[in-house]
Structure 1
Amino acid sequence: MLPSEDPLPLSALNDRDDSWTVAEGTHGDGPMIVRINTSAQRWAGHPQLGIRVGFAIPLNHPNPGGLPDAEENRVIGELEDRIRALLKEGGPVVHALAITTGTFKEFVFYLKNGECIGPVHERLRAEVTSHRIQCMAYRDPAWEVYASFATE
């Protein structure tokens, strides 16, 4: 069965059983680490998950020649969990990528309900005082950004 033919049961989008792999590259003059949800491949291109949203978090202590320090990475990891939980309240969502450089960390999701993005972003901006959270959403029915990392 093709992903586009699969129904979209919320129980199947349970991220507790996700499998992740890590790819390394460069971004600007420093390293880039990309965590790729290999389990998301099952849902790539699903017609009900055609909205891509990225939550980018600029680092407070950028390190263009390296990666974030352990403490800042821990705090941003907690933000990652919070972002995912808030998006899930809006409906089906797949956490596809986590991109880390020495200047920012970005979490990429594919979801059904684009109407939840603005309220989630506003809620995060109100709740989070440790970092500035940026948000961009696009229609990406072919999951092009995910594919650009998952196939490398």
Structure 2
Amino acid sequence: MKQLYFLLICLVVTSCNYFDAKKTTSEDILENELLTFNWNDVDEYPMFESCNENATKEAKKRCFQNTLTQIITQKLQQNSLVVSQSITDTVYMNFEISKEGVLTLLTVEADSVTRKEIPNIQELLAKSVDSLPKIFPAIRRSQQVKTAFRLPVIIQAN
């Protein structure tokens, strides 16, 4: 009988852990949420007014990139560039769009030949993005967020 009481007492003592309520703090919830959050993706990409706001996420991204490329190309074609040798180069424009929808050109990556032939390439590209139509910023979790983009621009001059 003593063994039965001893066994019962051991079961009662060790089973107390099963009745403990686990408390979760807001910090724990936030930490778990931040671990599962993809920081490199947005719910909606930035877009121009001319883009269809009911389109899919990928279609909005393409519309934004195509519209931006068209505007930059049109602005660059308005300048008459004189070069001593033919240039075919892909110039990479790194820019960011603020929470307010303001586009800022950060850097321009171009080949040394392109920089030699068109020394003011960065100024020309900066001017081409100065007079853009209204941009709606990217959205992540119903909040407007700052985004960064890298856009390739093909330069051809004869």
TM-score, length-normalised on structure 2? 0.28
Q: Select the structure that is richer in strand.
A: 1
Structure of larger gyration radius: 2
